[in-house]
Amino acid sequence: MISAGDFRNGITIEMDSNIYQIIEFQHVKPGKGAAFVRTKLKNIKSGGVIEKTFRPTEKCPQARIDRKDMQYLYSDGDLFHFMDVETYDQIALNSDNVGDSLKFVKENEMVKMCSHNGEVFAIEPPLFVELEITDTEPGFKGDTATGATKPAVVETGATVYVPLFVEQNDKIKIDTRTGEYLSRI
């Protein structure tokens, strides 16, 4: 159990049979009346954000989130297959559980599985990936206005906006959190 006076960003709590992560919190001490804690909570399964106030003495059970390294093996239709590299156990998740978290992940790369009580609710790709560009329009000399970009399709099928000098078959580094081009390799 954790009291509302001990809330910090990133802590996960159980409330109303859901699991929430604290995005923002603020201890408020008004001139008149009792102090309270104003929070912004994100439902980690559905992604919805709610605002809720707590008295500083209120207690909530702290949720235990397990993060395990797994290897993404392959997808066949609607199922995505993963393997635990320590025990070689394999699990398959449907596309509803995976979402678009694997759009920058190639087969045989490592990802983190986030689960609560054995139920997988999210997949975290690596922060940065290196992918090859499979299709993009050629950039033309003299066509270099400041910050100009063009769409490019990488080997996983995702579209990324890259600078004009990047060509087909170039390897690039991508930030998977934002989907932004970082550098050419």
Q: Which fold has domain 128-184?
A: OB fold (Dihydrolipoamide Acetyltransferase, E2P) (2.40.50)
Per-position pLDDT tens, the chain of length 185: 899 888 988 888 998 888 898 999 999 999 888 999 999 998 887 778 999 999 989 999 998 888 899 999 998 888 899 999 899 999 988 887 787 888 888 888 999 988 888 888 888 889 999 999 999 888 766 655 567 788 999 998 899 999 888 888 889 999 988 888 999 88
Burial class (CB in 10 A: 0-12, 13-18, 19+), 113: buried
Amino acid, res. 170: D
Q: What is this structure's pTM?
A: 0.71
CATH of 66-124, one of 3.40.190.10, 1.10.10.1150, 2.40.50.140, 1.10.1240.10: 2.40.50.140
How many Å apart are CA 130 and CA 41, to the nearest integer?
33
Determine the CATH number of domain 2-60: 2.30.30.30
Report the pLDDT value the prediction gives residue 168, as an integer from 0 to 100. Answer: 86
